[in-house]
Structures are given as C-alpha cells and as structure tokens.
C-alpha cells in the first residue's frame, strides 16, 4: 500500500514538472474567496499572496507585501508564533493542518483563523523520491472561522459547529461528552472523527485555543497571571504556567516582559509560574 502511494506521488510530481511555465496559478487562486493563500521562502519573506491575504495585511497590492515578513504587518507576538510555525514545517517537512490561530485583521481587530501550512519543495533529482527534494519555503492557507459558510457540505462535514462552540466558550470547562452531543455522535465516534479531521484530539485542539488566547492577553492587557489563567479556561495559575511553558518554552511572566507591557507581579505570582 505504502509503495503504491509513493509511486503515485512520484507520478504527480513528474506531471507537475511537465506543466508549462505559464500555468495560470495566480488566475486560479488569486481571487479565491474567504481563504488567505500565501507563499513564503525559507527566510519567511512573502513571495506571493492572493487578494484576500493582501487585504488582510492592510496592503493595496501584492507589490506591497512581496519581500516583507509577518513582522511588517502583524503584532510582534503573533508574528513570532507564525515564524516559529514556518520553521517547524521547514525543519520537519511535515504539514500543519487546521491549527487554530489568532490573526490580526486589517482593521486591527483580532479574530480566529484555522491555519494550514505545507512544505514547498523544489524539484527532486531524477530517480529521487519527492520527499528528498529540498524545501524552499512554505505555502499556506488560512480561513477566517467567522466567515465560514456553514450551509455547505464541506462545513457540515468538518465539525464546524463544534469548533465554533470551542472558540466561543474556551474560558469555561468543556467536557468531550458535551462536544460529542453537539456533533450528534457518541464520545468515541466523535473523538475518532475529530482526530481524523484535525490530526489531534479535541482536548489538544482546545488547549491550543486557550494557549493562543492567553498569549494574546499577556501582551495586550495588564491582567494578572491569575486573571489570564481564569479567562482562558485553565484550572489555576500553576496549571496555566506549566502548559504555557511547555508550548512557548518560557514562563508567562517572561513572555509578557519580552513581547508585551510588563506589570509588577507579586512574589506569589512568580512562584506559581
């Protein structure tokens, strides 16, 4: 089975390499509605973006984003996360599928997007597998969750109501059974279906939502660490500190000091990190 997949993948790559240089990529994807499409090189510089992504960046034309990075358009804390994600894709060659991200819109409001990124490979040498080709950058697709058309079969199949509930209620305790009920599935059926779609468990998906939301609160508000933990659904400040450090490699307090407006936490706050 695995061998057949590799053969078919190689055939696909061979076919694509034979396409004319004038393949209408931009004409086909440049105006795709409600989906941000972009291409970056290994250094994180934009090489291309569709009209929706150009609009998201607050730019008037593609020329205004080419050669620039996320740091030129988005808050530094968010841009840093995007860059870390790019580097992971380039280093591992593994795609990232439907990861929840906070994204700054052109009007400076923050909204939830589901982000997908794939390694962008160059041509493989003759006889080599596609996976051996050098990774030149990343190609990404993001969709604003609030703009989903939930009447389409695609959205009915991807548990959009469940994700919408998670995005709107992450500050409180959410049981898997509650999510399964929303999907009209048993708990085991729901967990299998969720993992098949999002490549992670419902609990991990919810944890990522909470971590993104907490990072944003740390850099954009002067809430105490305990308040941030409470508002993003963590059991307590200690649980928040451990989860945050595991994800970001630093404590919430240090993250705020580097990327946001520092505040004076009590000695007790620091101990709980």
Domains of the chain, each with CATH number or no CATH: 2-147 (3.30.450.20), 153-272 (1.10.10.60)
Q: Round to whole Å and give the CA distance between 144 and 161.
A: 14
Label the pairing between strands 110-121 and 135-144.
antiparallel
Tell me phi and psi for residue 234, to 5 degrees: -85, 150
Q: Percent of the chain, pLDDT > 70? A: 77
Burial class of 120 by CB neighbour count within 10 A (0 to 12, 13 to 18, 19+): buried
- Round to whole Å and give the CA distance between 14 and 124: 9
What pLDDT sits at residue 262? 44
In terms of pLDDT, which residue wins out, 259 or 16? 259
Q: What is the reported pLDDT for 264?
A: 39
Task: Tell me, letter by letter, the H, E, C secondary structure of the chain.
Answer: CHHHHHHHHHHHHHHHHCCCCCCCHHHHHCCCCCEEEEEEECCCCEEEECHHHHHHCCCCCHHHCCCCCHHHCCCHHHHHHHHHHHHHHHHHCCCEEEEEEEEECCCCCEEEEEEEEEEEECCCCCCCCHHHCCEEEEEEEEEEHHHCCCCCHHHHHCCHHHHHHHHHHCCCCCCHHHHHHHCCCCHHHHHHHHHHHHCCCHHHHHHHHHHHHHHHHHHHCCCCHHHHHHHCCCCCHHHHHHHHHHHHCCCHHHHHHHHCCCCCCCHHHHHHC
The pLDDT value recorded for residue 155 is 45
Choose the weakest-confidence range: 125-134, 186-195, 251-260. Answer: 125-134
Mean pLDDT of 47-58: 92
Q: What is the pLDDT of residue 259?
A: 82
Comparing C-alpha atoms, which of 136, 145, 94, 142 is closest to residue 116? 142
- Both tokens of 199, joined, read 């490549």
Over residues 194-243, the pLDDT tens digits come to: 988 888 899 999 999 999 999 999 988 999 999 999 999 999 999 999 99
- Rounded Cα distance, 46 and 24, in Å: 19
Q: Distance between CA 165 and CA 121 in Å, rounded?
A: 36
* CA–CA distances in Å: residue 206 to residues 5, 16, 209: 33, 38, 5
User: When comparing pLDDT for 109 and 216, which is higher?
Assistant: 216
The model's confidence at residue 110, banded by pLDDT at 50, 70 and 90, is confident
φ, ψ (nearest 5 deg) of residue 29: -110, -10
At 114, the pLDDT band (50, 70, 90 cuts) reads confident
Instruction: Return the minimum-mean-pLDDT range out of 10-19, 91-100, 130-139, 236-245.
Output: 10-19
Cβ atoms of 115 and 170 closer than 8 Å: no
Q: What is the pLDDT of residue 232?
A: 96
For residue 79, how far is the Cα from the chain centroid?
12
Mean pLDDT, range 31-41, rounded to an integer: 84
Count of CB atoms situated within 10 Å of the CB of 214:
26
Strands 135-144, 96-104: pairing is unpaired
């Amino acid at each position: 089975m695995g061998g057949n997949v590799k053969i078919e993948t190689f055939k696909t790559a061979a076919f694509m390499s034979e396409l004319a240089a004038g393949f209408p990529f931009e004409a086909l994807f440049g105006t795709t509605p409600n989906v941000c499409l972009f291409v970056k090189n290994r250094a994180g510089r934009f090489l291309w973006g569709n009209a929706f992504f150009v609009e998201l960046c607050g730019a008037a034309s593609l020329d205004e984003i080419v050669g620039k990075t996320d740091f030129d358009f988005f808050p530094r804390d968010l841009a840093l996360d995007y860059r870390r994600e790019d580097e992971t894709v380039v280093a591992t060659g593994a795609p990232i599928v439907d990861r929840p991200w906070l994204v700054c819109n052109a009007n400076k409001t923050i909204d939830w997007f589901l982000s997908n990124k794939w390694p962008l490979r160059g041509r493989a040498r003759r006889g080599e597998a596609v996976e051996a080709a050098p990774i030149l950058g990343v190609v990404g697709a993001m969709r604003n969750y609030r703009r989903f058309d939930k009447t389409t079969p695609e959205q009915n199949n991807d548990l959009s109501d469940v994700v919408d509930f998670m995005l709107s209620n992450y500050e409180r305790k959410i049981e898997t059974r509650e999510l399964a009920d929303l999907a009209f599935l048993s708990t085991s059926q729901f967990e299998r279906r969720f993992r098949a779609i999002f490549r992670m468990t419902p609990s991990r998906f919810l944890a990522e939502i909470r971590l993104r939301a907490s990072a944003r609160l740390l850099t954009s508000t002067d809430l105490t660490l305990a308040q941030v933990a409470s508002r993003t659904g963590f059991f307590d400040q200690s649980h928040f500190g451990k989860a945050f450090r595991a994800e970001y490699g630093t404590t919430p307090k240090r993250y705020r000091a580097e990327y946001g407006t520092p505040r004076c936490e009590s000695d007790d706050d620091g101990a709980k990190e």
